[in-house]
Amino acid sequence: MDALTRLWTEIEARRDASPDESWTARLLSKGPEKCAEKFGEEAVEAIIEAVRGDPERLTSEAADVLYHLLVMLAARGVTLDDVARELDARAGRSGLEEKAARRDESGGATG
């Protein structure tokens, strides 16, 4: 089992745990908005470490980001499988190609 799948399984298993015993349960009990806020904070911390350029600290912050991303998804009923399917659907299509297609659809607006 890969690390993300293991983590997702643990998060799902903590849904009904006591908020006194589980950080995941505590976060989920505060609602999706709080989970989203926490994800945002962790993302900013990862950005700071990416700019500073310390690989070990960035690795640690990236792990926090991935954990809090999964909790945010769980709070809104989106599964890791849902995201994996979306990624698979994009496989093999260059981001540049996808952006060009969107530009054509919107009549030439750039971004």
Ligand X SMILES: N=c1c2ncn([C@@H]3O[C@H](COP(=O)(O)OP(=O)(O)OP(=O)(O)O)[C@@H](O)[C@H]3O)c2ncn1[C@@H]1O[C@H](COP(=O)(O)O)[C@@H](O)[C@H]1O
22 binds ligand X (CB under 6 A): yes
What minimum distance in Å lies between the beta carbon of 51 and ligand X? 17
Shorter beta-carbon distance to ligand X: residue 25 or 58 = 25
Contact 11, 74 (CB under 8 A): yes
Cα 37 from Cα 75, distance rounded (Å): 12
Cα 29 from Cα 69, distance rounded (Å): 16
Shorter beta-carbon distance to ligand X: residue 59 or 106 = 59
Residues that bind ligand X (CB under 6 A): 7, 10, 14, 22-25, 64, 67
